[in-house]
């Protein structure tokens, strides 16, 4: 099987998977209690508007005055054509809301991802090559601590210590401070620490476990006998074969950092990113915004797994497309 045919099949399956997930999300939103109409009418009433007229306007904006099948069809077509609708809670197009939110998520999620990959894999490899030493025990303890501690509690504790008691860092995120400024870096330190702690622990555990399979392998002993230095043995003969299964963890790690962890982190630190945007959209039953923010992690997951499988063949020539 050629690489082009394999990629084409995966892309076709990506379309089907995206369609199924969006359909399930739409169905859950339809049967969920509350529809946001009351909040919309209440907002109109507080501004001196007519409540009944506000309810009718809400139904027209959200398409609730149309049959269910028509609404479903319109949503699917709009998703495919990037016409993701209007967010009534933010009073702006959905694409505009996402465009304004995603830079805030990237500002702390990308550094946290890089930190978790570099430190997690480095500590795991060092721990595997120095098994049963004090450093190995300390790394294992750190990993269990990072995995076990809840992110929201850890974030609150960091705020209490470094923001309230010591007054070293801000307790919540404030917009309007620029991107490449020292003030912005200061208020991103705590979110990065919270987001990367659990990921470092997970990467450390998996990389240590995978590396231990090759530390005492015959080809590693042969490389050492031929005079290969420790760095070459670690990178070329231990890390490279261990990286094949670690690619799966890497994709899951990025997804967890950008979306699952973003919900908790952005709510705790009030960062106006995609996580907080999606959370508010779900609470306020903003269907158009929920559908759009659902599509983004789905798209990243599908593309990430596709790139991951292609990377398998680069890292391990024994894997081919015909066996998939």
The tokens describing 37, both together, are 């109409």
Residue with tokens 């050492």: 224
**Distance of alpha carbon 84 from alpha carbon 196, whole angstroms:** 32
| Residues facing residue 93 across a β-bridge | 86
pLDDT on residue 160: 92
Query: What's phi and psi for 92, nearest 5 deg?
Result: -160, 160
The tokens describing 276, both together, are 């907080």
Domain ranges for the chain, please list them.
101-279
* End-to-end CA gap in the chain: 9
285: left (phi over 0), alpha (psi -120 to 50) or beta: left
**Alpha-carbon distance values, 115 to 129, 200, 227 (Å):** 21, 8, 32
Query: To the nearest 10°, the Cα dihedral for 260, 266, 271, 275?
Result: 30
Q: Does the pLDDT of residue 34 top 60, yes or no? A: no
Specify the CATH architecture of the domain 101-279. Answer: Orthogonal Bundle (1.10)
Q: Quick one: which H or E segment has residue 87?
A: strand 86-87
pLDDT tens digits, one per residue of 202-257: 888 888 888 888 888 888 888 888 887 778 888 777 887 777 777 766 666 666 65
Give pTM, 2 decimals: 0.76
Range of 6-15, 150-159, 214-223, 298-307 with top mean pLDDT: 150-159
> Could you say which DSSP state residue 131 is in?
T
């Amino acid at each position: 099987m050629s690489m082009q045919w394999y990629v084409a099949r995966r892309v076709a399956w990506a379309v089907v998977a995206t369609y199924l997930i969006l359909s399930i999300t739409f169905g859950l939103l339809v049967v969920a209690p509350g529809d946001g109409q009351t909040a919309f009418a209440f907002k109109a009433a507080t501004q001196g508007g007519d409540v009944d007229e506000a309810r009718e306007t809400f139904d027209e904006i959200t398409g609730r005055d149309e049959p269910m099948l028509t609404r479903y069809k319109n949503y699917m077509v709009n998703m495919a054509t990037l016409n993701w609708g209007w967010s009534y809670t933010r009073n702006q197009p959905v694409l505009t809301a996402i465009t304004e939110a995603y830079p805030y998520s990237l500002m702390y999620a990308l550094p946290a991802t890089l930190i978790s990959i570099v430190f997690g894999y480095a500590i795991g490899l060092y721990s595997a090559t120095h098994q049963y030493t004090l450093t190995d025990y300390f790394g294992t303890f750190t990993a269990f601590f990072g995995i076990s501690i809840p992110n929201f509690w850890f974030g609150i504790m960091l705020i209490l210590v470094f923001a309230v008691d010591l007054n070293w860092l801000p307790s919540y995120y404030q917009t309007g401070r620029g991107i490449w400024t020292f003030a912005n870096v200061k208020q991103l330190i705590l979110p990065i620490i919270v987001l990367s702690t659990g990921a470092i622990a997970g990467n450390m555990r998996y990389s240590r476990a995978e590396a231990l399979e090759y530390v005492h392998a015959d080809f590693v002993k042969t490389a050492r006998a031929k005079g290969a230095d420790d760095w070459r043995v670690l990178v070329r003969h231990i890390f490279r074969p261990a990286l094949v299964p670690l690619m799966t963890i890497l994709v899951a790690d990025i997804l967890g950092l950008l979306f699952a962890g973003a919900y908790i982190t952005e709510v705790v630190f009030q960062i106006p990113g995609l996580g907080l945007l999606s959370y508010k959209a779900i609470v306020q039953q903003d269907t158009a915004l929920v559908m759009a923010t659902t599509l983004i992690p789905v798209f990243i997951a599908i593309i990430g797994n596709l790139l991951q499988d292609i990377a398998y063949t680069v890292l391990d020539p024994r894997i081919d497309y015909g066996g998939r």
